[in-house]
A and B are shown apart, each in its own frame.
Chain A
Amino acid sequence: MKRCDKIVQDAYRYYEGALTRQEHAEITTHLANCPACANAFAWTRRTREGLHHLPRHVPSANFDVVLHAKMRHAEYERRTLWPLTMPSWAWQVPAYGAAALLLVAAGVFIDRQLEAPSTLPVSAQMTLSDAAPAVTAPVESARNLPSASQKSSAPAQHLVAGAGGRTAEKAESSAQLDAAATASAGAVQPVQMAAVQPPLKRYVMQKIPMQTLLRENRRTIGSQQTVLEQLAFDTMLVHQQNAGGRNPRGIRAVNASVQF
């Protein structure tokens, strides 16, 4: 036989018919002999039935009228004030989309601007920062550099050897810049390059190890001064890109700077 407290816990299940037939019969027998449990069960029955039979309340008669008025107002808001009432994601998605498109357009514009031939005069100051510790020649030595005409053939040969695989075309273009810079080599550093009038060509920078550069220049030219001059161009070797190719760093030769 179950204890009274356990039986009372089953009171609702008893009235709901959720107990097995055996459990139901067992409790019925117990209730017949236990007034306390019978009283508790009576209260359970009353409470349960009281809840189930509570009067059903209904809304007021004008409920539908008010609701329809609110619905019309909601529909009006939706149609007329939709920008103010729409959820945040509804405007965030197109806004972020437009912002992304704008950024892409700006990026394309800047990229094209960088790739387009510059109209600026070529007055690049070439600086060679990493040459400074290795080469300590006086400034006067730069003034004794050979003329552009003397150098026009030598650098081309030198560049082919120095770059290890550069084409003659690349070497030629480099030689043009070489000549331009040499013309103004007499000036006080930084070396002023002569203006190379259009068409300007796109270039990328390529660094050559200093020791390699010195060794190859010395072997080719055999002059410390010449080596010094060559360093102005060869430490940051400039070679022409393939026609139609992109300039990955967005650097123009005219903006290149090499410093002693």
Chain B
Amino acid sequence: MNKPNPKLSQLSDEELIQRFQEGDLYAFDLIVHRYKDALFNFTYRYLGSSQEAEDVVQETFLRIFRNRFAYRQIAKFSTWIYTIAGNLAKTELRKRKRRRLVYTSDLGYDDKEFEIEDTKADTERDVDSLLTEKHIQDAINKLPERFRKVILLVDVQELSYEEVSKIMHVPLGTVKSRVNRARLKLQGMLQDVFDGQR
């Protein structure tokens, strides 16, 4: 990957994609640099498989590379890229269902090398060691697709309700309602895990 130009790094996403549309490939590199981790984390949590998540993120960037002129500055770039990634991840999930392969939480212990340790998370786990990452991911995987996507975008990716509304093409009220229901479902599942272990 090319080293991002310092001046380019100060540009907004929308300015970068515009530069890319004008033929500046460094601008595209910077977009990849900015979004690859966030998109990977989102698709990884959504699909529960690092290999599939990586394929989806690469396909997302390839789509943007090929269809660079499809972007119009009427929407935020982040909304656009999350929409593409979300749709591809959803397609991947459907393909998987068709293949009838069951990924029983390959959340991975073989993927540890790709994790960035979060000291804050460690603190929380020390306080409440019952809620491990595995438990939460298992619970997320059990959520219906529409709840899973919305809770990942709002609570994990920390996007605003408005942006999630645009990404998912649903009204703002629906997003809030789904987030609330998803949280309650998730909480219920985690409580069940806790009660089972006790």
Contacts and interface: CB of A to CB of B under 8 A. Distances in A.
A67 interface: yes
B57 A59 contact: yes
A177 B133 CA distance: 103
Contact of A55 (B57, B115, B151, B186): B115
Interface in A10-69: 12, 43-44, 46-60, 63-64, 66-68
Nearest to B125: A53
A55 B115 CA distance: 7
Given A51-B156, A59-B54, A60-B114, A68 B1 contact: yes
Interface of A: 9, 12, 43-44, 46-60, 63-64, 66-68, 70-71, 74, 78
B118 A74 contact: no
B158 A47 contact: no
Contact of A67 (B45, B61, B137, B191): B61
Contacts of B57: 59, 63
Contacts of B158: 52
Contacts of A55: 115-118, 121, 133
Interface of B: 1, 32, 36-37, 40-41, 44-45, 50, 53-54, 57-58, 61-62, 65-66, 111, 114-118, 120-121, 124, 128, 131, 133, 136-137, 151, 155-156, 158, 180, 183, 186-187, 190-191
A63 B53 CA distance: 11
A54 B41 CA distance: 10
Contacts of A43: 187, 190-191
B136 A54 contact: yes
Given A56-B115, A70-B62, A74-B66, 6 more contacts: A46-B131, A52-B155, A56-B116, A57-B111, A59-B37, A59-B53
Contact of A49 (B36, B37, B54, B124): B124
A51 B155 contact: yes
